[in-house]
Amino acid sequence: MLRIAVPNKGSLSGPAAAMLHEAGYQQRRESKELRVVDPVNEVEFFYLRPRDIAIYVSSGRLDIGVTGRDLLIDSGADAEEILPLGFARSTFRFAARPGAVKSLADLSGTTVATSYEGIVDKYLAEQGVDASVVHLDGAVETAIELGVAEVIADVVETGTSLRNAGLEVFGDPIMKSEAVVVRRTGAPADEPKVQQFLRRLQGVLVARTYVMMDYDCRVEQLEKAVALTPGLESPTVSPLHNEGWVAVRAMVPSADAQKIMDDLYDLGARAILTTAIHACRL
């Protein structure tokens, strides 16, 4: 059985379970369950704190895990990222009261509050900045108002939490994060069960990113139409009963679908349809 660590709480937990469900895996029915065996797919899921997942995986007791890239780096565990999953996207940034700190150099001698001490210590050392770091479990935005620190380093998505606390980011983003699949560093890359698991998740990612597009067009317009819809390999082109017309089928990025439909229509294509892809193996 493949043993997989899945976040049990927080921002990663819901989207991770949704993706695994879309990939055909059995998931827990209620949030207190710590373990689910999926005998059909020969997989066992362990629901763990997101922060602990890289540590379990690096110990070799679990084969792979889903966690945040920032949590992986912060843990310092001997684990590596093998597939980015496209959800829980965020940046990790310094923030302070407006005007209080203008650049990284001004950080020397200050106290930085964060829940991600591993990332901050490493970054400050790399940048040669001598600041003290105080670890807080969460809600670090409040640390400045309460005088625990002059600076914070935290996850930023929309920036709402910072705005609400009257803080502003400064300096370059320390890192960009998203949910990722991790494994023990250097674990065999060709393990068939791991490969099958990754293919399933890649199938979900593709199904979320692409739609199938079908349309009819005149043979004279085919080259121009195909340039708009090149597909992943090459589009399928089939003859129509009406001579001089062909039917074309190709995958297109969902984000571009409406624009492509407009352009195809302007070229003279008709009966332009898009349909959702539910699952795929490329």
Ligand X SMILES: O=P(O)(O)OC[C@H]1O[C@H](OP(=O)(O)OP(=O)(O)O)[C@H](O)[C@@H]1O
Ligand Y SMILES: Nc1ncnc2c1ncn2[C@@H]1O[C@H](COP(=O)(O)OP(=O)(O)OP(=O)(O)O)[C@@H](O)[C@H]1O
Contact 9, 75 (CB under 8 A): no
Q: Is residue 161 a contact residue for ligand X (CB under 6 A)?
A: yes
As a dihedral over the C-alpha atoms of residue 259, residue 265, residue 270, residue 271, rounded to 10 degrees, the angle is 20
Q: Is residue 159 a contact residue for ligand X (CB under 6 A)?
A: yes
Judged by CB, which is closer to ligand X: 37, or 139?
A: 139
Select from 33, 42, 130, 157 the one that contacts ligand Y (CB under 6 A): 157
Judged by CB, which is closer to ligand Y: 77, or 88?
A: 88
Of residues 101 through 120, those in contact with ligand X by CB under 6 A are: none
Q: Is residue 120 a contact residue for ligand Y (CB under 6 A)?
A: no
Residue 50 binding result from ligand Y, ligand X, none, given CB thresholds of 5 to 8 Å by partner type: ligand Y
Number of alpha carbons in the 13 Å side-chain half-sphere of residue 130: 1
- Over the Cα atoms of the chain, what is R_g? 24
Judged by CB, which is closer to ligand X: 154, or 216?
A: 154
Residue 183 binding result from ligand X, ligand Y, none, given CB thresholds of 5 to 8 Å by partner type: none
SS3 state at 8? coil
Contact 21, 67 (CB under 8 A): no
Residue 18: its H or E element:
helix 10-22
From 192, 266, 190, select the one nearest 224 (Cα to Cα): 266
From 77, 86, 64, select the one nearest 16 (Cα to Cα): 86
> From the CB of 165, what's the least distance to ligand X, in Å?
9
Judged by CB, which is closer to ligand Y: 93, or 184?
A: 93
Select from 17, 36, 47, 51 the one that contacts ligand Y (CB under 6 A): 51
Q: Which residues contact 271 (CB under 8 A, 6 or more apart)?
A: 214, 215, 216
Q: Is residue 177 a contact residue for ligand Y (CB under 6 A)?
A: yes
Select from 34, 139, 232, 255 the one that contacts ligand X (CB under 6 A): 139
Query: Residue 201 and residue 189: Cα distance in Å, rounded?
Result: 16
Judged by CB, which is closer to ligand X: 84, or 159?
A: 159
- How many binding residues for ligand X (CB under 6 A)? 10
> From the CB of 138, what's the least distance to ligand X, in Å?
3
Chain centroid, CA 25 distance in Å: 19
Contact 17, 85 (CB under 8 A): no
The amino acid that residue 261 corresponds to is: M
Q: Is residue 160 a contact residue for ligand X (CB under 6 A)?
A: yes
Binding interface with ligand Y (CB under 6 A): 9-12, 50-51, 68, 70-71, 88, 90, 138, 155, 157, 177
Binding interface with ligand X (CB under 6 A): 138-139, 154-161
